[in-house]
């Protein structure tokens, strides 16, 4: 989906996360997409909060150092925004020309945007008619402080921001639009991006974003639970988490006595309940029309989706097929220097942003 909030052209895709900063430089080839360079660095502690870059200079320094050390030669970039205050909604409106809607979009969006529309960037796309008098419109809104703080950090790092996109759109571009082996056009599925601090849940109904919601819980919650219960360092807690396998909790017979898993289980169950609530909300907002079908598949991505057995555990708890999907699961993506056992779960956003340079502007 090519809709974006700030539009020009771009080169490198940069994912400014709460836990890490990732950059992908991509090349389009006849066979697909070549990830020429993939680099990451820890986000300076406390530098990004609730999507807003609090310490632009620290982020700029980390970004500049990361790109210089990896010899990533780029002067422009694509970035993204997400979070509870970023609104992505498909709504029904009276039919009107695009020019008319553009004049009144702030008034229309005011019904759905929780913050002030004057303090938000607002874009829209007319998706098509519903009947003779109404049409479906995708409305996107992002607070100016989130957008401008990220642009400022990149500017300070010597990078011109060409496009500010929406994180779930970037994920959709790299995981779904780039998938030539699967026909997603008639599917209704959920994209679940598990980050460090938040989990983004988006429902796509036959190629259209029907709902996006941000859950204030991610991989960091699990790391902190292990750290606090067992009195571990951050590094040991993160390392220990990577050695656990949730499938042990699904084994038949005597319940597992793995203490770390038992510590994490209630937090994972909380996240699953919030995902279920999101899907139930989507369903409750739909009419009884024949085109509306329930979510039949969950696509997991993001750094938090690397947890062993997570897809199987979610599938067992929710009764919906769940798949952990990274960009490198798609044979059309080729990494220049592939990491052992890596399928690029955490690269969907940065890759989708890098791909945006090759798509037509909305």
Predicted confidence band at 270 (pLDDT cuts at 50, 70, 90)?
very high
Which pLDDT value is given to residue 361? 43
Query: Residue 362 pLDDT more than 50?
Result: no
Least confident stretch, 89-98, 288-297, 319-328: 288-297
- Confirm whether 244 is domain-assigned: yes
* Contact present, 52 and 145 (Cβ < 8 Å): yes
Q: Apex CA 324: angle with CA 333 and CA 36, to 5°?
A: 20
d(CA 284, CA 271): 20
pTM metric for this prediction: 0.91
d(CA 86, CA 94): 24
Query: Residue 216 pLDDT more than 50?
Result: yes
d(CA 17, CA 27): 23
Half-sphere exposure of 127 (CA within 13 A, CB side): 21
- Confirm whether 29 is domain-assigned: no
Query: Residue 339 pLDDT more than 90?
Result: no
Encoded tokens for 333: 């993506």
Work out the angle between the directed axes of helices 56-69 and 144-156 (0-180°, nearest 10). 50
pLDDT digits (tens, 9 = 90+) for 137-161: 999 999 999 999 999 999 999 999 9
d(CA 362, CA 349): 19
pLDDT digits (tens, 9 = 90+) for 297-323: 999 999 999 999 999 999 999 999 999
Q: How many independent structural domains does the chain possess?
A: 1
Q: Is 333 helix (H, G, I), strand (E, B) or coil?
A: strand
Residue that is written with structure tokens 């002030």 in the block: 116
Which pLDDT value is given to residue 110? 86
pLDDT digits (tens, 9 = 90+) for 52-64: 999 999 999 999 9
pLDDT digits (tens, 9 = 90+) for 165-192: 999 999 999 999 999 888 898 899 999 9
d(CA 295, CA 33): 29
- Confirm whether 126 is domain-assigned: no
- Confirm whether 237 is domain-assigned: yes
d(CA 311, CA 321): 8
Compute the mean pLDDT over every residue in the chain, rounded to the nearest whole number.
Answer: 90
Domain membership of residue 196 as a residue range: 182-325
- Confirm whether 189 is domain-assigned: yes
d(CA 232, CA 253): 31
Which pLDDT value is given to residue 321? 97
pLDDT digits (tens, 9 = 90+) for 3-54: 555 544 337 999 999 999 999 999 998 989 999 999 999 999 999 999 999 9
Measured between alpha carbons, how far apart are the two ends of the chain, in Å? 9
Q: From start to end of the chain, where are the E strands?
A: 12-16, 20-29, 32-42, 48-49, 52-53, 76-81, 87-94, 120-129, 134-143, 160-166, 188-194, 199-205, 208-215, 297-301, 321-324, 333-335
Query: Residue 86 pLDDT more than 70?
Result: yes
* Average pLDDT estimate for 321-327: 96
- Confirm whether 248 is domain-assigned: yes
CATH code of residue 222: 3.30.420.40
* Contact present, 147 and 7 (Cβ < 8 Å): no
* Contact present, 247 and 308 (Cβ < 8 Å): yes
Least confident stretch, 8-12, 109-113, 136-140, 280-284: 8-12
Nearest to 332 by CA among 202, 174, 129: 174
* Average pLDDT estimate for 203-216: 92
> Residue 71 — left, alpha, or beta (φ > 0 → left; ψ -120 to 50 → alpha)?
left
φ/ψ of 44, rounded to 5, equals: -55, 135
- Confirm whether 17 is domain-assigned: no
88 vs 84, 110, 226, 317, CA distance in Å?
A: 10, 13, 34, 27
- Confirm whether 219 is domain-assigned: yes
């Amino acid at each position: 989906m090519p809709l974006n909030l700030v539009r020009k052209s771009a080169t490198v895709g940069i994912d400014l996360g709460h836990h890490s900063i990732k950059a992908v430089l991509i090349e389009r080839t006849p066979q697909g997409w070549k990830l020429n360079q993939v680099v990451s660095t820890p986000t300076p502690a406390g530098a990004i909060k609730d999507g807003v870059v609090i310490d632009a200079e620290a982020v700029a320094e980390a970004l500049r150092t990361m790109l210089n050390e990896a010899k990533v030669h780029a002067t422009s970039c694509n970035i993204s925004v997400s979070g509870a205050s970023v609104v992505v909604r498909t709504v029904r409106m009276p039919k009107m020309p695009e020019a008319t809607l553009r004049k009144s979009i702030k008034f229309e969006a005011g019904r759905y945007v929780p913050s002030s529309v004057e303090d938000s960037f607002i874009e829209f796309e007319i998706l098509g008619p519903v009947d003779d008098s109404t049409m479906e419109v995708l409305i996107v809104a992002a607070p100016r402080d989130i957008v401008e703080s990220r642009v400022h950090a990149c500017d300070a790092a010597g990078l011109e921001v060409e496009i500010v996109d929406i994180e779930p759109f970037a994920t959709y571009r790299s995981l779904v639009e780039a998938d030539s082996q699967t026909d997603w056009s008639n599917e209704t599925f959920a994209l679940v991006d598990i980050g460090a601090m938040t989990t983004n849940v988006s429902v796509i109904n036959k190629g259209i974003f029907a709902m996006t919601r941000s859950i204030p819980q991610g991989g960091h919650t699990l790391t902190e639970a292990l750290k606090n219960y067992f009195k571990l360092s951050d590094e040991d807690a993160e390392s220990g988490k990577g050695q656990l396998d949730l499938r042990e909790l699904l084994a038949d017979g005597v319940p597992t006595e793995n203490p770390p898993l038992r510590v994490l289980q209630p937090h994972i169950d909380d996240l699953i309940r919030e995902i279920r609530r999101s899907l139930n909300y989507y369903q409750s907002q739909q009419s009884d029309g024949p085109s509306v079908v329930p979510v039949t598949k969950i696509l997991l991505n993001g750094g938090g989706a690397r947890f062993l057995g997570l897809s199987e555990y979610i599938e067992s708890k929710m009764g919906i097929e769940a798949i952990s999907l990274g960009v490198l699961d798609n044979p059309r993506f080729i990494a220049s220097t592939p990491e052992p056992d890596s399928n690029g779960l955490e690269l969907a956003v940065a890759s989708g942003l890098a791909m945006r340079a090759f798509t037509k502007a909305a």
